[in-house]
Amino acid sequence: MKRRSKVARAGALITVAVVAGAALSGCTSSAEPITYHPAYLDYPSVKDLQAGSTDVVQGIVVDSRSEWIDVSSKPRDPEDPESNPNLGSESEQPNSEFLYTVYSVKVTDVADGTAKPGDVLEVRQLGGTVEGDTATADGAAEVTNGNEYVFFLVTMPDGMAELPNPALSVFPVAADRTVTVPKSNTLGTEAGDDVADLFTSGG
């Protein structure tokens, strides 16, 4: 498999450290799972979480897949020295691929952002399994196909969306339409009402 390393970039994800055992040795398959240790911004309230998001939507997870995604910033013209200062150097193609799970989310309601009911958004978070390679990430949100959630999202330059802080950014919607708060979410149980109010108040 390809070597996976550290990366720093703008957006929801600040830094990612990789612990991978055999995965860092450059071998063709990983005998041990990869573990990502991302550092995310903290949000002390639902209001702060909304301010750090580009979209707040409610939607049903209709599908999911895992894939390696290159999150590096691509030069406008790779062959132009001005656009690509690393042209010809060993760092011309820095390694910045990470294993993600990508969820297809059919939007049912919108509190903030440009999405519309019926749109299908691609939402990714670190971790997944591809061809024998398995990765997990600290603080990953539990998301299950067929279930409905409220997602706080940040749209990335490649058009996919990410969770500004996965542990805080996903709220399951119960059968009675109540917005619930996962036990791992440090915003507290009252955050469910605050999230629901974003939809009744129009954000």
**Burial status of residue 127 (CB atoms within 10 A of its CB: 0-12, 13-18, 19 or more):** buried
The answer to the question of residue 135 being in a domain is yes
* pTM listed for this prediction: 0.79
With respect to residue 86, please indicate whether it lies within any of the assigned structural domains: no
Domain for residue 189, yes or no? Answer: yes
* Contact status, residue 181 vs residue 145, Cβ threshold 8 Å: no
pLDDT tens profile 42-67: 999 999 999 999 999 999 999 999 99
CATH code for the domain in which residue 193 is found: 2.40.50.120
- How much is the average pLDDT of 30-53? 90
Instruction: State how far the Cα of 200 lies from the Cα of 64, in Å rounded to an integer.
Output: 29
Q: Does a structural domain hold residue 144?
A: yes
Structural domain includes residue 79: no
List, for residues 137-187, the tens digit of each pLDDT value.
999 999 999 999 999 999 998 889 999 999 999 999 999 999 999 998 999
Per-chain mean pLDDT for the chain: 82
Q: Has residue 50 been placed in a domain?
A: yes
Q: How many structural domains comprise the chain?
A: 1
Q: Check pLDDT > 80 for residue 74.
A: no
Strands 148-155 and 55-70: antiparallel
> 106 versus 23: which is more confidently predicted?
106
Return the closest-CA partner of residue 38 out of 167, 144, 143, 151. Answer: 167
pLDDT at 95 over 80: no
pLDDT at 96: 81
Confidence of residue 9 (pLDDT cuts 50, 70, 90): very low
What is the share, in percent, of the chain residues with pLDDT greater than 70?
Answer: 72
> Which two three-digit tokens encode residue 4?
């996976």
2: in domain: no
Q: Is 70 exceeded by the pLDDT of residue 10? A: no
Which of the 8 DSSP states describes residue 173? B
- Which domain covers residue 106, as residue numbers? 7-71+96-200
**Dist CA 173 CA 176 (whole Å):** 8
Would you say 72 and 13 are in contact if contact means Cβ atoms under 8 Å apart?
no
DSSP 123-145: EEEE-EEETTEEEEETT-----T
Does 78 map to a domain? no
Average pLDDT score over residue span 65-71: 93
More confidently predicted of 46 and 14: 46
Q: For residue 32, what pLDDT is reported?
A: 84
> Exposed/middle/buried for 122, CB within 10 Å: 0-12, 13-18, 19+?
middle
